[in-house]
């Protein structure tokens, strides 16, 4: 396999920073801000002009009803500004920069289906209506930590992965789960690397079945009170907040229950940098940078990068420590 040299966070950070943006949080702030003229302004960026998306451009979503889960209502940090979160993304199917939100709009999510198969008693193919009817949606505000050492706080809407486990009933041979993202090279064109270099699409991720059964493991179908915009992984993605963000595969089309550990996208590309387990651990440095601190997107509506200490398991040790003999 050819090794691909991807831009690393510290190389791309400065280039990708959007210095100022507008609040866009439908449930909490939108009504007060749309129409006041800040959305759509262009702002200086390292000598260039960078367009800030308008609320309308980012509003290609529908409102979703969900009850707030009180256990995950207080993340201990302010929720990240919605426009900042929606314009600073990792989604290599649309390119290797953080600024892929516009390219991701080419994905069509009508008639979406998610196939659940492998070592389960009740294999099923769900469309989005099935998912919303079968699983009660809740809102959970989770801290989110990328392996690149940036972090945010996001109100996800969705349902716990263990609700799906109860529906499909894995057999006793099922030990791992592979999650596969949508891939169609006509739409998810990937980054424009030199010929000969390639990425192992489709993007896949994996969990041990006990990890999937943990109360924290979540499927998100929404964010900030509405359906997921494409750049966040519409229409359904994984959220495993005690692990680095790359474990959260976006735009899921397949979930397979397996007897053995599956190969996964980043781990296949660079196993020393991106472990299968990938728990947030401040004392375990990435091979090229420390993980002791993280940089919060924000505060407010600015990319000012507040630095804070990284917490073991991203602060979720009371929920997941037991999985790793540290409970």
Residue 91 or 319 with smaller CB distance to ligand MTE: 91
What are residue 313's DSSP bridge partners? none
Which secondary structure element, helix H or strand E, spans residue 163, and what is its range? helix 161-168
| Binding flag, residue 219, ligand MTE (CB under 6 A) | no
Least distance in Å: CB of 63 to ligand MTE? 19
| Binding flag, residue 319, ligand MTE (CB under 6 A) | no
| Binding flag, residue 90, ligand MTE (CB under 6 A) | yes
165-204 mask for ligand MTE (x: CB under 6 A)? ----------------x---------------------x-
Q: How many other C-beta atoms are found inside a 10 Å radius of the C-beta of residue 282?
A: 16
Contact predicate 146/245, CB 8 Å:
yes
Q: How many angstroms separate the CA atoms of 107 and 290, rounded?
A: 35
Residue 35 or 78 with smaller CB distance to ligand MTE: 78
Beta-carbon-side half-sphere exposure of residue 256 (alpha carbons within 13 Å)? 15
Q: How many residues bind ligand MTE (CB under 6 A)?
A: 16
Residue 34 or 240 with smaller CB distance to ligand MTE: 240
145-164 mask for ligand MTE (x: CB under 6 A)? -x------------------
Q: How many angstroms separate the CA atoms of 51 and 213, rounded?
A: 42
Q: How many angstroms separate the CA atoms of 154 and 264, rounded?
A: 25
Beta-carbon-side half-sphere exposure of residue 265 (alpha carbons within 13 Å)? 21
Instruction: Give the tokens for residue 197.
Output: 């270099």
| Binding flag, residue 89, ligand MTE (CB under 6 A) | yes
Residue 264 or 311 with smaller CB distance to ligand MTE: 264
Where on the chain is the footprint of ligand MTE (CB under 6 A)? 89-93, 146, 181, 203, 232-233, 245-246, 248-251
């Amino acid at each position: 396999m050819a090794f691909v040299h991807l831009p690393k966070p510290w190389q791309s950070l400065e280039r990708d920073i959007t210095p100022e943006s507008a609040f866009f949080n439908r449930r909490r702030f939108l009504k007060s801000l749309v129409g006041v003229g800040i959305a759509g302004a262009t702002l200086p960026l390292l000598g260039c002009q960078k367009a800030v998306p308008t609320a309308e451009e980012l509003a290609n979503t529908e409102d979703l009803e969900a009850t707030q889960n009180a256990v995950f209502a207080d993340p201990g940090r302010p929720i990240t500004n919605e426009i900042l979160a929606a314009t600073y993304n990792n989604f290599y199917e649309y390119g290797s920069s953080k600024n892929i939100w516009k390219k991701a709009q080419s994905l069509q999510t009508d008639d979406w289906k998610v196939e659940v198969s492998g070592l389960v008693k009740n294999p099923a193919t769900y469309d989005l209506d099935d998912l919303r009817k079968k699983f009660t949606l809740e809102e959970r505000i989770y801290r989110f930590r990328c392996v690149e050492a940036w972090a945010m706080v996001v109100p996800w809407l969705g349902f716990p992965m263990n609700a799906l486990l109860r529906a499909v009933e894995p057999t006793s041979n099922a030990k791992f789960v592979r999650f596969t993202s949508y891939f169609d090279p006509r739409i998810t064109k990937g980054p424009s690397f030199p010929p000969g270099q390639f990425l192992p699409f489709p993007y896949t991720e994996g969990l041990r079945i006990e990890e999937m059964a943990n109360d924290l493991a979540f499927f998100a179908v929404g964010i900030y009170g509405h359906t997921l915009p494409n750049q966040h992984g519409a229409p359904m993605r994984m959220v495993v907040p005690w692990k680095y963000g790359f474990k959260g595969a976006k735009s899921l089309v397949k979930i397979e229950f397996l007897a053995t550990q599956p190969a996964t996208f980043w781990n296949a590309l660079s196993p020393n940098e991106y472990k299968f387990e990938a728990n947030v651990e401040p004392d375990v440095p990435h091979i090229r940078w420390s993980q002791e601190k993280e940089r919060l997107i924000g505060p407010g509506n600015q990319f000012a990068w507040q630095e804070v200490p990284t917490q073991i398991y991203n602060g979720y040790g009371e929920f997941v420590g037991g999985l790793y003999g540290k409970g």
